Amino acid sequence: MREAFESRLKRFRELERLLSDPAVASNPRQVREYAKEHAGLKPFAEKHAEYSRLQEQIRVTQEMLGSKETGGEMRQLAEAELEELKNRLSQVERELEILILEDDPEGERSVIMEIRAGTGGAEAALFAADLYRMYTRYAAGRGWSVESLSMNPTEMGGFKEAIFAVEGAGVFKRLKFESGVHRVQRVPDTEASGRIHTSTVTVAVLPEVEDLDVEIDPKDLRIDVYRSSGPGGQGVNTTDSAVRITHIPTGLVVSCQDERSQLKNKAKGMKVLRARLYELKSREQEARRASDRRSQIGSGDRSEKIRTYNFPDRRVTDHRIGLTSHRLENILDGQMDEIIDALVEADRQARLHRQVGGGF
C-alpha cells in the first residue's frame, strides 16, 4: 500500500508542476485534464499530509520516551499520547486505502441511461417503464435531476426505449453497476390463465462527457431530419424536427424526436453520441485491463444478466453478489440504496483483495 501512497503523491506533485508550466497553460484541453486529475487527487494529498504529520509526532514522542530525563507523570502522559497517535495513524492509513480504492475519475460524472425492452414483447416494454420510474424516483430521492433525451413509448404505457440524463454529484459512482440485463418474472395483466412470464430489459449507464472529452470531426457526421412519429403532440408530429445522427467511422446512430425544435433535438442527440463514443473508447482501454475487470463486480456488459425481479415471491436478486431482498415494491419505488450500497462495498472489497494480493 505504501508504494501506492507514494505513487499517487508523486503524481499529485507532478500535476502541480505541470499546471504552473507556461507551455501547458497555452493548451486549454490539457489544463482542463490536469486540473481535473489534480482535484481528484487533492483529498488524498491532504490526508497523506496528515499521515506524515502523525508519523513525525510519533517519532518525537518515542524519542521523548527513550530519554532518561522523561519520568513520572511526564512519561505517563507521553505513553498515553503515543497510543493515541498510533491509533489515529492506523485510522488515517485506512482512510488513505479507501481513497485509493474509491479512486474513480469518472465517479462524480453525471450519466446518460438507456433502457430498452428486450425479450417479452409488450410485457418487456411495460417493465422498461417500471425501471424508468424506479431510476427517476431514486434520482429524486438523492436530489439529482433527470432530463429526458429520447423516448419511444408504446400504446400500453410502456417503453420500447427510454434515454435520459441523470445529473448530480456522484451519479456514476452510484449507478454504474446498473448496466446489464434486468429480468422480470410476473403474471402480465394480459395473461388470462395466470401463467408467469419471464421478460428482459437491458440497461446501459454511460458517463456523460463534454466536448473536450471526445473530439468529433463534423465531417464524420451524417445528419438527417424527418417528421416525428408516434405520441408527441400536434407540433412535434407535423414538422421535420426529428434528427438522426450517424457517426460514419463507427456506424453509431442516434435519433431524437422529443422536442419541437430541430436544434434542441440535435443538441440532445450529440450529447448521447458523445457518451456512446466515450464508452466505446473506454471499453477498448478496459479490454487491455481485462484481468482487473474480472476482479470487479460485473463487467458492465449489456448482455450480462445482473438482476431478477420476481413478483410472485416479492423478491429481487442481484446475481453478481448473491444478494436477495424481499422488498420488491420498495425497490421499484426507488428505494435502491440497499442494493447499490452492497454493490459498491462488494466492488471495493474485490479490488482490495486484488491489490493486496497482487500488489499495485
pLDDT tens digits, 333-344: 999 999 999 998
Q: How far apart are CA 345 and CA 287, in angstroms?
A: 24
Among 7-16, 239-248, 345-354, name the most confident range. Answer: 7-16
- Mean pLDDT over all residues of the chain? 85
Q: How far apart are CA 163 and CA 306, in angstroms?
A: 20
Identify the pLDDT of residue 212: 54
Band of the pLDDT at 165, cuts 50, 70, 90? very high
Q: Is the pLDDT of residue 181 over 80?
A: yes
Please state the three-class secondary structure of the chain as a single string.
CHHHHHHHHHHHHHHHHHHCCHHHHCCHHHHHHHHHHHHHHHHHHHHHHHHHHHHHHHHHHHHHHCCCCCCHHHHHHHHHHHHHHHHHHHHHHHHHHHHHHCCCCCCCCCEEEEEEECCCCHHHHHHHHHHHHHHHHHHHHCCCEEEEEEEEECCCCCEEEEEEEEECCCHHHHHHHHCEEEEEEECCCCCCCCCCEEEEEEEEEEECCCCCCCCCCHHHEEEEEECCCCCCCHHHHCCCCEEEEEECCCCEEEEECCCCCHHHHHHHHHHHHHHHHHHHHHHHHHHCCHHHHHCCCCCCCCCCEEEEEECCCCEEEECCCCEEECCHHHHHCCCCHHHHHHHHHHHHHHHHHHHHHHCC
Identify the pLDDT of residue 201: 96
Q: Is the pLDDT of residue 238 over 70?
A: no
Q: Is the pLDDT of residue 57 over 50?
A: yes
Identify the pLDDT of residue 114: 94
Q: Is the pLDDT of residue 227 over 90?
A: no
Q: Is the pLDDT of residue 356 over 60?
A: no
Within 13 Å of residue 41, how many CA atoms lie on the same side as its CB? 20
How do beta strands 221-226 and 180-186 pair? unpaired
Band of the pLDDT at 295, cuts 50, 70, 90? very low
* CA-wise closest residue to 176 among 309, 326, 293: 293
* CA-wise closest residue to 270 among 204, 203, 205, 221: 221
Instruction: Please tell me the total number of residues recorded for the chain in this structure.
Output: 360
Identify the pLDDT of residue 293: 41
* CA-wise closest residue to 266 among 235, 207, 221: 221
Identify the pLDDT of residue 33: 79
Identify the pLDDT of residue 300: 46
Q: Is the pLDDT of residue 294 over 50?
A: no
Q: Is the pLDDT of residue 119 over 50?
A: yes
Identify the pLDDT of residue 90: 93
Which letter, b or e, does each residue of 189-226 get, where b requires 16 or more Cβ atoms within 10 Å of its Cβ? eeeeeeeebebbbbbbbbbbbeeebbeeeeeeeeeeee
Question: Could you give the percent of the chain with pLDDT greater than 90?
Answer: 49
Q: Among 34-38, 56-60, 327-331, which stretch is predicted with the lowest mean pLDDT?
A: 34-38
**Fold of domain 218-286:** Double Stranded RNA Binding Domain (3.30.160)
Q: At what angle do helices 2-19 and 72-101 cross, to 10 degrees?
A: 70
Summarize the confidence of residues 328-333 as an average pLDDT. 97
Band of the pLDDT at 100, cuts 50, 70, 90? confident
Q: Is the pLDDT of residue 263 over 60?
A: yes
CATH for the stretch 111-212+296-358: 3.30.70.1660
Q: Is the pLDDT of residue 345 over 90?
A: no
